[in-house]
Amino acid sequence: MTKTKYITLSIALMIFASIAMSFISSNSKTEKYDYLVTISTDFGDMKLMLFDDTPIHKANFIKLAQEEKFDSSIFHRVINNFMIQGGAITPADQQAWDTLSFEDKTLPNEIMEKHKNIYGALAAARIENPTKRSDNSQFYIVQNHSGAHYLDNNYTVFGQLLVGYDVLDKIVSQKLNGSSPVEPIKMKVSVAKVKRTDMIKFYGDIYGKYAEGV
């Protein structure tokens, strides 16, 4: 190979490498991430996604989980063929909590008609109020395999169970005193930042199936 051809080839390789590195850098910058929720119990783990179009509820849940506010709390209300409910947080200063306004203890509703109370739906619990504001920490997961559609358009559904349906069914099969488990069912909640491409790789077309409504 002549010196001129060698130099030309070297320059071409350098240009190619530069373009390739630019593409990789650009691609990494545009990579989208999401949060994968894991609720750990003595019966196994449940993994859930949170919807982008309920941003207030999504951000609030992530914040509470990252602050470990859910850890060691219990599923205090369990009803077979309906749902499991938990997430009640005991404030460190109960007296201060009691002085807060209703608005400060709740979240504005983000009810979306497309998000239904299907099997495995994650939704915000609430007390009756005219604007359907959500409790700022309590949530429920629908266990009825046919859904709980009489709740549709009345409660904010902000996520969906991806795996751990067997865990959900085990929890409702525990011995109860009314709707309260005889043995406390404790939870530990964590969130992990995951590439959306990996979310799809491991859990399928969840953004098309659940985030866009079922």
Looking at residue 71, its pLDDT comes to 93
Distance linking the first and last C-alpha atoms of the chain: 63
Q: Profile the chain (214 residues) by mean pLDDT over runs of 10 residues.
A: 48 48 51 96 98 97 95 95 92 70 93 97 97 96 98 98 98 96 97 97 95 75
Looking at residue 6, its pLDDT comes to 43
Cα angle 206-210-211, degrees, rounded to a multiple of 5: 95
Distance of alpha carbon 96 from alpha carbon 197, whole angstroms: 43
Looking at residue 30, its pLDDT comes to 81
What is the reported pTM? 0.84
> Exposure string (b/e) for 5-32, b if CB count within 10 Å is 16 or more?
eeeeeeeeeeeeeeeeeeeeeeeeeeee
DSSP 52: T
Looking at residue 18, its pLDDT comes to 54
